[in-house]
Amino acid sequence: MSIYSFTTNKPNGDQVDLSSYKDKVLLFVNTASECGYTPQYTDLQGLYDTYGEKGLVVLGFPCNQFGGQEPGTSTEVEAFCSLNFGVTFPLFNKIDVNGPDADPIFQYLTEKTGGEIKWNFTKFLVDRQGEVIKQYDSSVKPLDIAPDIEKLLG
Catalytic residues: 35
What is the spatial distance between Cα 8 and Cα 26, in angstroms, rounded to a whole number?
A: 15
Q: Is 90 exposed, middle or buried (0-12, 13-18, 19+ CB in 10 A)?
A: middle
Q: At what angle do helices 74-85 and 40-51 cross, to 10 degrees?
A: 80
Query: Nearest-5° angle of CA 136, CA 29, CA 92?
Result: 170
Q: Residue 9: which residues within 8 A CB-CB, separation 6 or more?
A: 15, 16, 92, 93
From start to end of the chain, where are the E strands? 7-9, 15-17, 25-31, 56-62, 123-126, 132-136
Running DSSP on this structure, what letter comes out for residue 59?
E
